[in-house]
Amino acid sequence: MRVLFLCTGNSARSQMAEAWLRHLSGGQVEVSSAGTEPKGLHPLAVQVMAERGIDLTGQRSKPVSEFQGQRFDWVVTVCDRARESCPVFPGARTLHWDLPDPAEVHGAQEAVLEAFRRARDELERRVGDLLKRLEGEEAPELL
């Protein structure tokens, strides 16, 4: 089972989703993330995932072009901008989650950090739901 998460910058939301699916599946799902305009891994995404015991430091921001021509079972866009410019991955099922970009929140550091925590927690919930769906499709391989 191969899953690709896409967002614009591949700096926070798609990176956290990738890490959650890898973690929650126990590494049983081959998961990647990419961006239509990669910006580099956001340090607050690294920080809030570390709060939950998940290390993002080995991940890097990647352009979606790096994955063109590859086969995926699922492609999940996590923002409207990525969905609008996402290339076609033949045979892949698609999901769209329009999640607010925590990197676009400005103001006090605590408010920005809280936006990253909300995104992290919402992605954990959604990725958990996706994993249940994947387990139903691929059982017993994912169990």
What residues act catalytically?
Answer: 7, 79, 86
Longest dimension (CA), the chain: 47
Q: Tell me if residue 44 falls in helix, strand or coil.
A: helix
CA 99 to chain centre: 11
**Cβ burial, residue 89 (10 Å; 0-12/13-18/19+):** buried
Distances (CA, A) of 24 to 16, 31, 89, 115, 143: 12, 11, 24, 22, 11
